[in-house]
Structure 1
């Protein structure tokens, strides 16, 4: 880029600044990737906890159904019919490992012992009297059981889920997150052991979730260092890209520091040397695809750098006030280049030129436009001034007088990149405009993003209600073109119809059309 603000620095300073410039993108990239990885892991553990609660609720639903079906049998003798009912619930209900009956807080009949079995019941072992995570029973010692207890008066029914189902759920729900099931003071991890000490806190993405239906909770999380391991496993290409951009930024910073030209002086020099030249991009009619006009785009043809992108010098030109004489020179060059070819234009051929707030501070723009139109036979071209929003245009008496004078001259006003600036609706309210130009970001989302498409449809509908012409920018595919035409868009502009071209190539392309 041929714009810098200071001359060459010392060698040490240049290398230091270059190193800092190279390290900043790398550090920022690593920070962003770390934040993204941590956010992804947090979302993963939250989803894992939700899935675990769903699975355990499903298990307990089956135990609750089994206990509810058996409760009326509590207190009856533990005969063959009752034992068969106990075993039937174990067989019919998924996840149910054993069923038991109690009477007056004493277990007397169990599916595990073939009938009679005596054991007292301590209600305090059960959270809220209904759920107990116990470390095994006489049949399967040191093997976790989750027991569900249902009591009505002296009657009690029990159904349990063993560690096979519990640990499978803890182990298999997620490949990365660790899970813990907690019931009261006891908790169970994927190893199948019941603990009664404090529940461990995971170093990364810890998430605690309690069931809304039963008295238990789950904790999900990952061990320390998992974020870096996740980044190494998932982001190797992005790490390479970050390093590449860091090296590129360092090299670019080193190169830019060798430049020695004040930006404003360089722009003034280029203006005096007529290095700002017009490029023309066709605008076609939506219904016929015939060329209806063009947008004049300013390019800087630098003697050493070649063509300089407008985003590298237009903002500086606006800040320095040079955008007004640069636009004046652009209008004169455009008139001189296009006027000899007027006979090739369709009647009312639109020629669009961008203006900013700087152009609206006095009435000199009216004189510039009058001189431009005088170069063409009357009625052959229509000059369209496109309001950009890089600087806010205030609705003063001067601006209103300016726009009134322009309309009397036959000049039309368009709002450029409509829908992206903070003042687009304010311009519609304060100024008498003729066209809206839809920003290419909305056009690019056709067929991709429903929200952007709805915004696009709303802009088109708004233009119809206000009786305004509408131009869609950035049309690159046939799908976008067909959609916009179907919505009644008047004019289309984009690479599908032609790229910005110098005058000779533009006129040649126009002739072929």
Structure 2
């Protein structure tokens, strides 16, 4: 391979590896980001559940404390009442103070510093729940549960400082138009612009609303990038996929290079699988099959190297090489062929479409005619062949040269009556898929219909993949023309095929 081709192929391999790396990077980053977002939402949900539980517990305590303090409401605020009020907060974890209200002033309180304080500017009595600073300590925020009873009004203030850390940066609580954040109390509701990215969580209480902040794209990516495990997964997976793409590209290129070498040096040999006449049981022909045994790779299946040959344009050289070896085999004179003996060879649609195909026909048809062999080109029916004027002219040229046309793998791909009519094959080869359906217990109407249709159109039929005697008997009973498969013989080297022919001739 010259330097230019080497550089081009190297560039293609690098491009393939780069594309694999980028695509895998995108996919893995997306998956890791989604996973990171899900984990974040899970953490926030757990945090919200804890905040809700604490908030509800605090309100229950406030209700209970208010209920216990209510018998004291309306009584003169003497030493006994103040002592009783002072003892109640100690029974609960977060209650800051219990206060009785009269004429917008605190008439009695569990905190002596609150007594007689004006609460008109701190506590609106038309609310059931209110967040504000305390009366005596402006640096402390409380949430006050306001209870109106016939004997008067009281409120229980609970300390909110313990909630700050629980809220973190993602949760806020709204109560009566005010919002508690991790930074403190804000005199704005959730509807304000500063909280536009927050979304209310399902309500657990009519007294308050808990909301969480939906993260921005940058933060979502940050959840991923902050995790060394995620980054390791992303980079390692992307690198592995790039390496695999590089290796596959090298392997494909290596197979192409080795295939080209094998074709040039005739290392891919023809093998011959007998085709049996159903009426006489005589060997009426054979299919030429390419077999490649690599010194290092071992046996390389045709399903592996034939597609590479077709996609890289090597199929034409491969066909030429096989025909040259077939002619060399035939000229050995070690086998006797009956008149009309046929050799079938698969021809790629890409080869038929090539501009050199007519010259190919003109070269090989007289050689096989001189050898007394009828050459049959099998065109696989799995290819979606565009029936155009150019193809029709090529088919006509094939037939005029004495070469016959067989439609291979019939029934498995793009065949239809119009296709058969335009191609006008001399024979069709029924795919092994239909042969396998032949059962000893039941009829196989589909294959019967194919044979009947071919008879009506004066087209010869060959059944491929015959592996059992009952299949051969069924096909013969239904007037198949020819049979091919391992029941009769596997593909053979020419020397073995010559021996098979000679043995068959003696039996006849």
- TM-score under structure 2 length normalisation: 0.48
The structure with the larger Rg is 2
Q: Which has the higher contact order (CA 8 A, sep 6+)?
A: 1
